[in-house]
Amino acid sequence: MLGIHDLWLFVISGLVLNVAPGPDTAYIVGRSAQFGWRGGAAAALGISTGCLVHVFGCAIGLSALLAASATAFSVVKWVGAAYLCWIGVRMLLARAGEPADASAPRNDAMPLSRVFWQGALTNALNPKVALFFLAFLPQFVDGQAPHKALAFLVLGTIFIFNGTLWCLFVAALSARTAKRFRQSGRAMRWINRALGSMFVYLGARMAMLQAR
Protein backbone atom coordinates (compact mmCIF):
# COMPACT_ATOMS: atom_id res chain seq x y z
CA MET A 1 0.00 0.00 0.00
CA LEU A 2 2.83 2.40 0.80
CA GLY A 3 4.86 1.34 -2.21
CA ILE A 4 7.87 0.23 -0.16
CA HIS A 5 9.95 -2.46 -1.85
CA ASP A 6 13.11 -4.42 -1.02
CA LEU A 7 12.65 -3.75 2.69
CA TRP A 8 15.17 -6.43 3.60
CA LEU A 9 17.81 -4.70 1.49
CA PHE A 10 16.93 -1.36 3.08
CA VAL A 11 17.37 -2.79 6.59
CA ILE A 12 20.72 -4.41 5.75
CA SER A 13 21.99 -1.27 4.01
CA GLY A 14 20.88 0.86 6.92
CA LEU A 15 22.64 -1.37 9.44
CA VAL A 16 25.88 -1.22 7.43
CA LEU A 17 25.64 2.58 7.25
CA ASN A 18 24.92 2.85 10.97
CA VAL A 19 27.81 0.60 11.96
CA ALA A 20 30.29 2.55 9.80
CA PRO A 21 32.21 4.97 12.07
CA GLY A 22 31.67 8.68 11.53
CA PRO A 23 31.29 12.03 13.32
CA ASP A 24 28.17 10.86 15.18
CA THR A 25 29.99 7.83 16.54
CA ALA A 26 32.92 10.02 17.59
CA TYR A 27 30.57 12.36 19.44
CA ILE A 28 28.91 9.47 21.29
CA VAL A 29 32.26 7.90 22.21
CA GLY A 30 33.56 11.24 23.46
CA ARG A 31 30.51 12.02 25.60
CA SER A 32 30.50 8.46 26.95
CA ALA A 33 34.13 8.86 27.95
CA GLN A 34 33.34 12.16 29.67
CA PHE A 35 30.06 11.43 31.39
CA GLY A 36 29.60 7.68 31.33
CA TRP A 37 26.67 5.67 30.01
CA ARG A 38 24.09 8.39 30.68
CA GLY A 39 26.08 10.97 28.74
CA GLY A 40 26.58 8.61 25.82
CA ALA A 41 22.91 7.68 25.79
CA ALA A 42 21.90 11.36 25.82
CA ALA A 43 24.25 11.97 22.88
CA ALA A 44 22.84 8.98 20.97
CA LEU A 45 19.23 10.06 21.51
CA GLY A 46 20.10 13.60 20.49
CA ILE A 47 21.63 12.43 17.23
CA SER A 48 18.60 10.25 16.55
CA THR A 49 16.37 13.28 17.11
CA GLY A 50 18.42 15.23 14.57
CA CYS A 51 17.99 12.38 12.08
CA LEU A 52 14.25 12.46 12.70
CA VAL A 53 14.21 16.12 11.68
CA HIS A 54 15.83 15.18 8.37
CA VAL A 55 13.37 12.34 7.80
CA PHE A 56 10.42 14.70 8.30
CA GLY A 57 12.14 17.20 6.02
CA CYS A 58 12.49 14.54 3.34
CA ALA A 59 8.85 13.52 3.71
CA ILE A 60 7.44 17.03 3.35
CA GLY A 61 9.87 18.17 0.68
CA LEU A 62 12.21 20.42 2.66
CA SER A 63 15.21 18.30 1.77
CA ALA A 64 14.39 18.66 -1.91
CA LEU A 65 14.23 22.43 -1.42
CA LEU A 66 17.60 22.32 0.30
CA ALA A 67 19.07 20.40 -2.62
CA ALA A 68 17.53 22.71 -5.22
CA SER A 69 18.19 26.07 -3.57
CA ALA A 70 21.79 27.19 -3.27
CA THR A 71 20.72 29.94 -0.89
CA ALA A 72 18.89 27.59 1.49
CA PHE A 73 21.78 25.15 1.37
CA SER A 74 24.29 27.91 2.17
CA VAL A 75 22.25 29.27 5.07
CA VAL A 76 21.95 25.87 6.75
CA LYS A 77 25.58 25.10 5.98
CA TRP A 78 26.97 28.28 7.53
CA VAL A 79 24.72 28.12 10.58
CA GLY A 80 25.74 24.52 11.18
CA ALA A 81 29.43 25.24 10.62
CA ALA A 82 29.36 28.20 13.00
CA TYR A 83 27.59 26.16 15.66
CA LEU A 84 30.10 23.31 15.42
CA CYS A 85 33.08 25.66 15.61
CA TRP A 86 31.53 27.52 18.55
CA ILE A 87 31.12 24.27 20.51
CA GLY A 88 34.65 23.18 19.60
CA VAL A 89 36.29 26.44 20.66
CA ARG A 90 34.41 26.42 23.98
CA MET A 91 35.61 22.89 24.68
CA LEU A 92 39.19 23.73 23.75
CA LEU A 93 39.23 26.72 26.11
CA ALA A 94 37.16 25.24 28.92
CA ARG A 95 40.04 23.63 30.82
CA ALA A 96 42.91 25.81 29.69
CA GLY A 97 43.68 27.06 33.20
CA GLU A 98 42.93 23.86 35.07
CA PRO A 99 45.82 22.16 36.90
CA ALA A 100 47.08 18.86 35.55
CA ASP A 101 46.81 17.25 38.99
CA ALA A 102 44.51 14.25 38.73
CA SER A 103 43.14 15.04 42.18
CA ALA A 104 41.98 18.50 41.10
CA PRO A 105 38.22 18.96 40.81
CA ARG A 106 36.83 18.42 37.36
CA ASN A 107 33.95 20.30 35.79
CA ASP A 108 31.84 17.31 34.76
CA ALA A 109 28.49 18.80 35.78
CA MET A 110 27.37 19.53 32.22
CA PRO A 111 23.61 18.88 32.06
CA LEU A 112 22.62 15.83 30.06
CA SER A 113 20.02 18.00 28.33
CA ARG A 114 22.86 20.03 26.82
CA VAL A 115 24.60 16.88 25.63
CA PHE A 116 21.30 15.82 24.04
CA TRP A 117 20.64 19.13 22.29
CA GLN A 118 24.21 19.45 21.06
CA GLY A 119 23.89 16.05 19.41
CA ALA A 120 20.50 16.95 17.95
CA LEU A 121 21.60 20.31 16.58
CA THR A 122 24.92 19.13 15.16
CA ASN A 123 22.99 16.52 13.18
CA ALA A 124 19.92 18.61 12.29
CA LEU A 125 22.07 21.52 11.03
CA ASN A 126 24.15 19.28 8.76
CA PRO A 127 22.83 19.63 5.18
CA LYS A 128 24.87 16.60 4.14
CA VAL A 129 22.62 14.37 6.27
CA ALA A 130 19.53 15.90 4.68
CA LEU A 131 20.87 15.15 1.21
CA PHE A 132 21.74 11.61 2.29
CA PHE A 133 18.14 10.84 3.28
CA LEU A 134 16.87 12.55 0.14
CA ALA A 135 19.02 10.23 -1.98
CA PHE A 136 18.68 7.05 0.11
CA LEU A 137 14.99 6.73 1.05
CA PRO A 138 13.42 7.17 -2.43
CA GLN A 139 15.38 4.18 -3.73
CA PHE A 140 13.06 1.91 -1.73
CA VAL A 141 9.74 3.57 -2.56
CA ASP A 142 7.78 3.01 -5.78
CA GLY A 143 7.72 6.15 -7.88
CA GLN A 144 3.97 5.72 -8.42
CA ALA A 145 3.14 5.18 -4.73
CA PRO A 146 0.20 7.38 -3.63
CA HIS A 147 1.59 8.01 -0.14
CA LYS A 148 5.32 8.65 -0.61
CA ALA A 149 5.58 10.93 2.41
CA LEU A 150 4.23 8.24 4.72
CA ALA A 151 6.54 5.66 3.13
CA PHE A 152 9.53 7.96 3.77
CA LEU A 153 8.46 8.33 7.42
CA VAL A 154 8.16 4.56 7.86
CA LEU A 155 11.55 3.86 6.31
CA GLY A 156 13.16 6.72 8.18
CA THR A 157 11.75 5.47 11.48
CA ILE A 158 13.13 1.99 10.83
CA PHE A 159 16.54 3.44 9.96
CA ILE A 160 16.61 5.64 13.07
CA PHE A 161 15.39 2.87 15.38
CA ASN A 162 18.13 0.49 14.25
CA GLY A 163 20.70 3.26 14.38
CA THR A 164 19.67 4.24 17.91
CA LEU A 165 20.10 0.67 19.15
CA TRP A 166 23.60 0.58 17.67
CA CYS A 167 24.50 3.98 19.11
CA LEU A 168 23.30 2.97 22.58
CA PHE A 169 25.49 -0.13 22.34
CA VAL A 170 28.46 2.07 21.36
CA ALA A 171 27.70 4.37 24.30
CA ALA A 172 27.60 1.47 26.77
CA LEU A 173 30.81 -0.07 25.43
CA SER A 174 32.64 3.28 25.37
CA ALA A 175 31.51 4.19 28.88
CA ARG A 176 32.72 0.85 30.23
CA THR A 177 36.05 1.09 28.41
CA ALA A 178 36.71 4.68 29.53
CA LYS A 179 35.74 4.15 33.17
CA ARG A 180 39.35 4.34 34.34
CA PHE A 181 40.08 7.42 32.25
CA ARG A 182 37.26 9.34 33.94
CA GLN A 183 39.17 9.07 37.20
CA SER A 184 42.08 11.02 35.72
CA GLY A 185 41.80 14.78 35.38
CA ARG A 186 44.62 14.84 32.82
CA ALA A 187 43.01 12.15 30.66
CA MET A 188 39.67 13.95 30.75
CA ARG A 189 41.31 17.22 29.68
CA TRP A 190 42.82 15.47 26.65
CA ILE A 191 39.49 13.89 25.78
CA ASN A 192 37.88 17.32 26.01
CA ARG A 193 40.53 18.82 23.74
CA ALA A 194 40.16 15.98 21.26
CA LEU A 195 36.39 16.52 21.13
CA GLY A 196 36.84 20.26 20.75
CA SER A 197 39.30 19.78 17.89
CA MET A 198 36.90 17.34 16.23
CA PHE A 199 34.07 19.89 16.35
CA VAL A 200 36.24 22.64 14.88
CA TYR A 201 37.38 20.27 12.13
CA LEU A 202 33.81 19.21 11.35
CA GLY A 203 32.73 22.85 11.29
CA ALA A 204 35.48 23.68 8.81
CA ARG A 205 34.51 20.70 6.65
CA MET A 206 30.87 21.71 6.70
CA ALA A 207 31.79 25.24 5.65
CA MET A 208 33.43 23.78 2.53
CA LEU A 209 30.41 21.67 1.53
CA GLN A 210 28.98 22.36 -1.89
CA ALA A 211 25.41 21.72 -3.00
CA ARG A 212 25.25 19.09 -5.76
Q: How many domains does the chain have?
A: 1
pLDDT band at 98 (very low <50, low <70, confident <90, very high): very low
Q: Quick one: average pLDDT of 99-112?
A: 50
Flag whether 116 is in a domain: yes
Flag whether 11 is in a domain: no
How would you write the chain as a 3-class SS string? CCCECCHHHHHHHHHHHHHCCCHHHHHHHHHHHHHHHHHHHHHHHHHHHHHHHHHHHHHHCHHHHHHHCHHHHHHHHHHHHHHHHHHHHHHHHHCCCCCCCCCCCCCCCCCHHHHHHHHHHHHHCCHHHHHHHHHHHHHHECCCCCCHHHHHHHHHHHHHHHHHHHHHHHHHHHHHHCCCHHHCHHHHHHHHHHHHHHHHHHHHHHHCCCCC
Range of the domain at 143: 24-95+111-207
Percentage of the chain beyond pLDDT 90 is: 25
pLDDT band at 182 (very low <50, low <70, confident <90, very high): low
pLDDT band at 96 (very low <50, low <70, confident <90, very high): very low
Quick check: 181 pLDDT over 80?
no
Flag whether 1 is in a domain: no
